[in-house]
A and B are shown apart, each in its own frame.
Chain A
Amino acid sequence: MNYGGLSIFSGLNLKLLDGKNYSIVGPTGCGKTTLLNIISGVDKPSSGELKFSGEENKGYLLQENVMLPWRTLLENIGLPFEIKQNVNVTNYGVISNFLKLFDLEGFETYYPDALSGGMKQRAALIRCLITEPNLLLLDEPFSNLDFDIKLKIQKILLGYQKQIHSSIVFVTHDIEDAIALSDEVIIFSSRPSSIKEIIKIDLGLTEKDPILARKSDKFPIYFAEIWDKLKY
């Protein structure tokens, strides 16, 4: 795959399965975000192709947690409902439920200027979730969150994922998050990127749990393995 004259990926083949979670880790500038742009359809690859089995409904959390500054928090979150493509899913009850779960209740009428980075990140995540996508593309979704609220949100996210049967692709620089949330951790090499290694995660849990995962005996082993492969 080629992008803007710059060769970013070489011979990249990736297969994502229903209901599974994938984390992409790799050195800075290896094209993690570009890959999400391509999967989401925001950017077109100069070569290569993308195939979906069945109906696709993607939710993409941009790294910048973009909020339109002239809209209130609630108007920002409800934006997907105003786009014709998504009009069949208008459900403001879902939003207020998420606002409660994500500690954003009471901030509905605030403008983005008045909100912290973490609040914007949570709001942007809600905006992705409410259309009930079957593929979630999350670019550094927890980078602005404190540890306690991060674990809480991860738990809610995994629960909701089960409910709406979606797959998730995380792009992250946090190896712990990658292990705790994923079925497979995909390690990228530097540019032109290719997949260096795919590590299957099995922590012996009956279902994914961000806190129990971190307590698992195998957790530090995976950590060391991924760390060695990455060699930042």
Chain B
Amino acid sequence: MKSRVILFLLRLLPGVCFVLLWQILLRGNPQLIFYFGLPSKILAYIIAKTADGTLINDTYITLSEALIGFLIGNIIGTSMGLSLWFSNKLFKIYKPYIIALGSAPIFALAPLLIIWFGTGMFSKVMIAALSTFFVALFQAYSGAEQVDKNYIKLLKSMKASKMEVFKKVIAPSSIVWVSSAFKINVGFALLGAFVGEYISSNAGLGHLILVASGLFDISLVLTGVLMFMIIAIGFSYLVSRLESPIKKLIVKVL
């Protein structure tokens, strides 16, 4: 317990030193503050914008877009990836298309999605969903493919049907791959929401950063970046906590 406290303090030290140096070296130098911002100004923005509710609102909007997009992209991607296991032929046919679409920078499609789905939250949700979809699909299919052949042999020796092999072996065994897709996709979902907001929006952290950078208000830009980091950490933590309950659920339900 004591060593954990010490570790925590040691971890805090570099960050605190960095912020202090930043504050001390740049204070009283308006030119440098113009380029790099100032910790005390960031703090002031956080307090002021939390008080008037705009920061909370922007964070809430970006988080909702990323979260909903994450859920849609991962659920559809994972179920399609796993179901491709049933037909190897189908996967072979669709593989080049999946690779082509998966390797295309989805964010290049973002302007298109905004034209199709409007400038509101929905288009951002779709960008986040699309950018997570292919990672989820690939990971799920790879997970299903990489299952230990002995597990399948065991089920076959019990005369299990293909559906039973899927339920008892493929689904629980791929969960490790699937959950690693979830972890990767936290970043992609947030990036998707950000890109959408950066292109066209009237709210959200991407909007905040776009407006602030237009005004050359670096401290406000960094306030937005800091909020992104906080969301990403919380989001990742949530996802990492879900792996083992999902696994248990799958074993019990299927």
Do A and B bind?
A: yes
Bound Cα distance from A37 to B154, whole angstroms: 11
CB distance from B162 to the nearest CB of A (A): 12
Bound Cα distance from A198 to B221, whole angstroms: 84
Please tell me the number of chain B residues within 8 Å of chain A, measured between CB atoms. 20
Verify B153–A62 contact, CB threshold 8 A: yes
With contacts A66-B150, A66-B151, A70-B251 known, is A82 near B156, CB below 8 A?
Answer: no
Which secondary structure dominates chain A's binding surface?
A: mixed
Q: Among the interface residues B154, B156, B161, which one has the most CB atoms of the partner chain A within 10 A?
A: B154
Residues on the B chain within 8 Å of A64, using CB:
150
B247 CB-CB contact with A under 8 Å: yes
With contacts A83-B159, A84-B161, A86-B158 known, is A70 near B172, CB below 8 A?
Answer: yes
Q: Which residue of B lies closest to A86 (CB)?
A: B158
Verify A83–B164 contact, CB threshold 8 A: yes
Verify A62–B156 contact, CB threshold 8 A: no
Verify B169–A68 contact, CB threshold 8 A: yes
Residues on the B chain within 8 Å of A66, using CB:
148, 150-151, 153-154
Q: Which residue of B lies closest to A59 (CB)?
A: B157
A229 CB-CB contact with B under 8 Å: no
Residues on the A chain within 8 Å of B157, using CB:
40-42, 58, 60, 62
Bound Cα distance from A83 to B155, whole angstroms: 9
B173 CB-CB contact with A under 8 Å: yes
With contacts A68-B169, A70-B172 known, is A75 near B159, CB below 8 A?
Answer: no
Residues on the A chain within 8 Å of B160, using CB:
83, 85
A45 CB-CB contact with B under 8 Å: no
Bound Cα distance from A118 to B172, whole angstroms: 25
CB distance from A84 to the nearest CB of B (A): 7
Bound Cα distance from A82 to B160, whole angstroms: 9
B207 CB-CB contact with A under 8 Å: no
Bound Cα distance from A79 to B158, whole angstroms: 9
Residues on the B chain within 8 Å of A41, using CB:
156-157, 159
Residues on the A chain within 8 Å of B161, using CB:
84
Q: Among the interface residues A42, A85, A86, which one has the most CB atoms of the partner chain B within 10 A?
A: A42
Bound Cα distance from A60 to B175, whole angstroms: 27
Select A84's contact among B164, B173, B247, B251, beta carbons within 8 Å.
Answer: B164
Bound Cα distance from A42 to B154, whole angstroms: 9
Residues on the B chain within 8 Å of A79, using CB:
154, 158, 168
Bound Cα distance from A64 to B154, whole angstroms: 10
Bound Cα distance from A58 to B159, whole angstroms: 9
Q: Which residue of A lies closest to B167 (CB)?
A: A82
Q: CB within 8 Å of B: which of A80-113?
A: 80, 82-86
Verify A85–B159 contact, CB threshold 8 A: yes
Q: Which residue of B lies closest to A58 (CB)?
A: B157
CB distance from B148 to the nearest CB of A (A): 8
Q: Across chains A and B, which 3 residue pairs bring their CB atoms closest together, nearest first?
A: A60-B157, A85-B159, A66-B154
Task: Give me 19 other A-B pairs in contact (C-beta within 8 A), A58-B157, A79-B158 excluded.
Answer: A37-B153, A40-B157, A41-B157, A42-B156, A66-B148, A66-B151, A66-B153, A68-B151, A68-B154, A68-B169, A68-B172, A70-B247, A70-B251, A79-B168, A82-B164, A83-B164, A84-B164, A85-B158, A85-B160
A-B contact pairs, 27 of them (CB 8 A): A37-B153, A40-B157, A41-B156, A41-B157, A42-B157, A58-B157, A60-B157, A62-B154, A64-B150, A66-B151, A66-B153, A66-B154, A68-B169, A68-B173, A70-B172, A70-B247, A70-B251, A79-B154, A82-B164, A82-B168, A83-B155, A83-B164, A83-B168, A84-B164, A85-B158, A85-B159, A86-B159
